[in-house]
């Protein structure tokens, strides 16, 4: 309880110091699904203490990059590599702010034995032995799916397990399949593993699955650039870092 009170106090202080808007306004934010849990916890605090409103939209990792490059949102959170974003005249590149990184993790149905994922060899053994595997569909632009596709190619078993893979619509969809017992092993970003019907085994080894970064930008066309920049300062604050950790992410500041 004391820890929660301290966290709330830290967030309140940060917002009070970071936000310096003359009047309330509405700003827009677009972010990939892997950031949703953290944003759901952080944005209401920013809104309450500043009086401003943040209208958020969440989508696939690839889709978010395209939207970020277009500069149609006041604040965009994207996942590297993003050359289109950095080369876009619609983005204030100097506003680039690293927020957090998130790893692809493994989950099983609640109460099921947890497999060994301590090494690349152990992960390979787990996947070959599993009856079924699910993760977000990379064809829809899901960054976790893109990452895990690369992992399968790296450990050389993409073709061997292709027949038992069930690609899902987003991380929540993958976790739902694990929770209801339809699939044995589920993978997605650790920040998308909130389903009460699963047990989180842990993140994949960094050697075969580097964490994905979340980096924020302000649109070059924002009508409320000061508020947008105050939001970025808040989202990269030490107090926000505690929220990222609570959601299975690692702060980058």
Residues 115 and 199 placed together within one structural domain of the fold: yes
Say how far apart CA 249 and CA 188 lie, in whole Å: 13
- What pLDDT shows up at residue 140? 87
- What pLDDT shows up at residue 6? 47
- What pLDDT shows up at residue 11? 59
Q: Which domain holds residue 53?
A: 2-101+213-251
Say how far apart CA 231 and CA 235 lie, in whole Å: 6
Q: What are phi and psi of 59, to 5 degrees?
A: -150, -160
- Name the pTM for this structure: 0.86
- What pLDDT shows up at residue 24? 80
> Could you tell me which residues come within 8 angstroms of residue 5 by beta carbon, excluding any fewer than 6 positions away?
none
- What pLDDT shows up at residue 10? 55
Q: What are phi and psi of 124, to 5 degrees?
A: -60, -45
Read off the CATH number of the domain in which 133 is found: 3.40.190.10
- Each residue's pLDDT expressed in tens, for the chain with a length of 253 residues: 444 444 544 555 555 545 444 468 999 999 999 999 999 999 999 999 899 999 999 999 999 999 999 999 999 999 999 999 999 999 999 999 999 999 999 999 999 999 999 999 999 999 999 999 999 999 989 999 999 999 999 999 999 999 999 999 999 999 999 999 999 999 999 999 999 999 999 999 999 999 999 999 999 999 999 999 999 999 999 999 999 999 999 999 8
Residues 177 and 221 placed together within one structural domain of the fold: no
Our count of domains for the chain comes to 2
208 inside domain: no
Provide the phi-psi class of 51: left if phi over 0, else alpha when psi is between -120 and 50, else beta.
left
> Residue 239 corresponds to which tokens in the numbers above?
């107090």
Residues 29 and 82 placed together within one structural domain of the fold: yes
- What pLDDT shows up at residue 227? 97
Kindly give the pairing relationship between strand 198-203 and strand 104-109.
antiparallel
Residues 134 and 94 placed together within one structural domain of the fold: no
Residues 30 and 114 placed together within one structural domain of the fold: no
Check whether the bond before 21 is cis (ω within 30° of 0): no
Picking from 215, 225, 231, the residue whose alpha carbon sits closest to that of residue 54 is 231
Residues 193 and 220 placed together within one structural domain of the fold: no
Alpha-carbon torsion (172, 178, 182, 183), positive or negative = positive
Residues 68 and 140 placed together within one structural domain of the fold: no
Residues 9 and 32 placed together within one structural domain of the fold: yes
Helix axes 2-18, 36-50, angle to 10 degrees: 60
- What pLDDT shows up at residue 157? 98
Say how far apart CA 250 and CA 178 lie, in whole Å: 25
């Amino acid at each position: 309880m004391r820890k929660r009170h301290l966290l709330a106090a830290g967030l309140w202080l940060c917002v009070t110091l970071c936000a310096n808007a003359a009047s309330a306004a509405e700003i827009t934010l677009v972010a990939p699904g892997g950031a949703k849990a953290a944003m759901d916890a952080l944005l209401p605090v920013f809104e309450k203490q500043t009086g401003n409103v943040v209208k958020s939209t969440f989508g696939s990792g690839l889709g978010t990059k395209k939207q970020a490059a277009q500069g149609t949102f006041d604040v965009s959170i994207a996942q590297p590599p993003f050359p289109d974003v950095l080369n876009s005249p619609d983005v204030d590149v100097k506003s680039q702010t690293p927020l957090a990184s998130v790893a692809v993790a493994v989950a099983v149905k609640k109460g099921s034995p947890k497999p060994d994922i301590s090494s690349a060899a152990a992960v390979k053994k787990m996947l070959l032995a599993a009856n079924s595997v699910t993760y977000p569909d990379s064809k829809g632009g899901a960054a976790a799916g893109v990452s895990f596709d690369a992992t399968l190619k790296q450990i050389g078993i993409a073709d061997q397990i292709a027949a038992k893979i069930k690609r899902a619509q987003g991380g929540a969809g993958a976790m739902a399949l694990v929770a209801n017992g339809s699939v044995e092993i589920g993978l997605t970003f650790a920040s998308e593993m909130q389903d009460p019907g699963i047990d989180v085994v842990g993140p994949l080894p960094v050697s075969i699955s580097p964490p994905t970064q979340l980096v924020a930008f302000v649109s070059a066309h924002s009508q409320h650039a000061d508020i947008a920049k105050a939001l970025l300062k808040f989202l990269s604050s030490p107090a926000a870092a505690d929220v990222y950790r609570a959601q299975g992410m690692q702060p980058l500041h």
